Structure 1
Amino acid sequence: MQAIEKIITTNSWVTALILLLFISIVLLKALDTNRLKGSVFSLFNINYIETESEEISSFLDPFKVVMFLFTVVVLSLLTYSFKTYNSPTIAVSFASYVPVFLSLLSYFVIKRTLEYLLFNLFLIKKEVRLFVVSKVNYLHTVTFLLYVAIVLSEYAGFKQRYLFYLAALLFSVRFIIHLVINKNLIFNKLFYFILYICAFEIAPLFLLFKMMF
């Protein structure tokens, strides 16, 4: 009964986005089933990460574009849920969601563009490519799991605070596995790693959250 009431009261735009995300998964499967499986289970499949790091594909590769948009929409829904959870006075609407989506979209477009330029214009070392590719693909795995959690939160009575706990856990696991896989590069170039984290990860995200919250 609670699940039925949840479905009835859910905003139609959220339902539309969740359906669009499902269609995106179907499209990804149609484009490349093996890459979809690799993206879903990349946290547990280092061979897939190594293969991806050796391949140079187009910046506008259809699979990557769809996967990118899927990731941004899932993360923007999660961020928006967190924002409205902490600010109950905010009216949940598509209009208030759009700025969150556009902010994250801008962040990831700039970030992925810079990473692509590093890959293909400067021909960076294989170890660094593995570092970036593993980070991106691990994020894909996390977003697939978060998509399932968001669906459960919207329609199955899965409490929002548990969604946020799960997100924190998944990102922590992603960070730890990424650190372990790339430990040699990180500890050999610790100064540059810290500089990268501060310049490309922490500072932009801090600025985004200051703008959105």
Structure 2
Amino acid sequence: MEVITREIISTDWITIVIIVCLALLATAKLINSARFSEFVMLFNTNKYIVINQKGNKLSTFFNGILILVQILSVSLFIYLSIDVLEWKDQVIDLTLYLKIASLYLFIFICKILVEKIISTIFSIEILIEDYLFYKISYRNFLGLILLPLNLLFIYTAKPSKIVIIILIISLLILNLIVLFSVYRKNENVILNHLFYFILYLCALEIAPYFILYKLIV
């Protein structure tokens, strides 16, 4: 039987990434503790969305911190998934993580810019702003959920392939539920522009993540 050596992931820089995430969360709580408390209860109540959705709250410093935590945490989960699923031709090191985080950030920014351009062209700025805040807030919360899972997988027990696959499927389902709920709220607008809505789904909700997958792999 041929012995195949596997690289052991260094936890030094991962520890720094996690400390940065925790420091960012502490900063967000320090900036606005009431708003942070509403945010961490997002799956129990939509009070955070109702109170903060209006007034271009997406571009605030508080929300920017949560977006950064999302990018760092989700990128780390993708990085760990690549290691567990043993994708070929991937060197498991800091360079791979930086590549994932950079691509994730690039696609994230491009999506927002394109959506804002579309909103300006079709004069639906308020609708798109509310939609973006709703969607990004829930994805920020998913990034928060992944943080303790990343800690568990790195320092306690390395997950099996089936665990990672189940988690990925669960995250996809949660994302679909969030998108479906916001689409249902704007059902009349969508039905009146069904063709453009289908194009939007394909171009901005499906294609970017497929591109991210292809660029990483």
Stretch moving more, 156-165 or 193-202: 156-165
Q: How far has the Cα of 1:66 moved from its partner?
A: 1.3
| Structure 1 CA distance for aligned equivalents of residues 25 and 140 of structure 2 | 12
TM-score by structure 2 length?
Answer: 0.80
Q: How far has the Cα of 1:136 moved from its partner?
A: 1.0
Change (3 A) 1:42 1:71: same
Q: Which residue of 2 aligns with 1:64?
A: 63
Q: Does 1:208 align with 2:212?
A: yes
8 A Cα contact 2:56 2:129, kept in partner:
no
| Structure 1 CA distance for aligned equivalents of residues 160 and 181 of structure 2 | 30
Number of residue pairs matched by the alignment: 205
Q: Which residue of 2 aligns with 1:80?
A: 79
CA RMSD of aligned residues (A): 2.8
Structure with higher helix content: 1
Higher RCO (C-alpha 8 Å, min separation 6): 1
TM-score by structure 1 length?
Answer: 0.81
| Structure 2 CA distance for aligned equivalents of residues 88 and 171 of structure 1 | 20
Q: How far has the Cα of 1:208 moved from its partner?
A: 1.4
Q: How far has the Cα of 1:58 moved from its partner?
A: 7.2
Quick one: percent identity of the two aligned structures? 22
Q: Which residue of 2 aligns with 1:145?
A: 145
Q: Which runs of 5+ in 2 are unaligned?
A: 1-7
Q: How far has the Cα of 1:121 moved from its partner?
A: 8.9
Q: Does 1:182 align with 2:183?
A: yes
Q: Which residue of 2 aligns with 1:92?
A: 92
Q: Which residue of 2 aligns with 1:5?
A: none
Q: How far has the Cα of 1:10 moved from its partner?
A: 4.4
Q: Which runs of 5+ in 1 are unaligned?
A: 1-7
| Structure 2 CA distance for aligned equivalents of residues 200 and 66 of structure 1 | 23
Q: Which residue of 1 aligns with 2:5?
A: none
Q: How far has the Cα of 1:197 moved from its partner?
A: 1.5
| Structure 2 CA distance for aligned equivalents of residues 50 and 9 of structure 1 | 42
Q: Does 1:199 align with 2:203?
A: yes
